[in-house]
Every structure is written in C-alpha cells, then in structure tokens.
Amino acid sequence: MNKSLHEVIPTAAYLSAKGRRLDPLLRRYLESLLTAPFTFFEVLVCDPGTGMTLRDVMMQEEHAVTERAASRGMEPGDLLFGSWRR
C-alpha cells in the first residue's frame, strides 16, 4: 500500500526514503533546506562577478553575498526568490 504524499515536502519525502544512504554532506544540505524559509530578496548593490548586497523583503535584513555567476545578470531593484542560510 502506498502512503499518500499529499502535503509532504518533496525534500522531506526524499530524505525519508533515501537519507541513510546519502553522502553525509548532501544529507545535511538537504536537511538545512527544510529549516531555511524561502523569501524574496531585493538587489540593493551589485558588483558583477564579485557579489551583491540583498535585502530580505519580508524581514528587512540586509545580506552581503559573495558569488560570481548570478551577480553578472543582476542589477539594483531586481527581485530574487530563495532562502538564506547563515
């Protein structure tokens, strides 16, 4: 008999089924996705190829992000959807 996955987060279902066999680092990463809420971020400052400063639209917190790829296509005022893990 198959259990219903209605209202089950896909990541949680995957961890339940395969978690013990996963690489520990991958398992910890997937577990962290379950606790980090998704939100919208506004790009405040962008330094293409280096990083950007984002503001969480819901919490009004600012975050400095160091990265190379996404900042090349972003500019101030753009909105992003994602999660923030400290």
- pTM, 2 dp: 0.61
Same domain, 31 and 44: no
Mean pLDDT of all residues belonging to the chain = 89
Same domain, 3 and 26: yes
Same domain, 43 and 79: yes
Same domain, 46 and 72: yes
Same domain, 51 and 73: yes
* 36-45 tens-digit pLDDT: 778 899 999 9
Q: Which domain holds residue 73?
A: 38-83
Three-class DSSP labels, 14-71 = HHHHHHHHCCHHHHHHHHHHHHCCEEEEEEEEEECCCEEEEEECCCCCEEEEECCCHH
Higher pLDDT, 34 or 26: 26
Same domain, 24 and 55: no
* 8-17 tens-digit pLDDT: 888 899 999 9
- State whether residue 81 is helix, strand or coil: strand
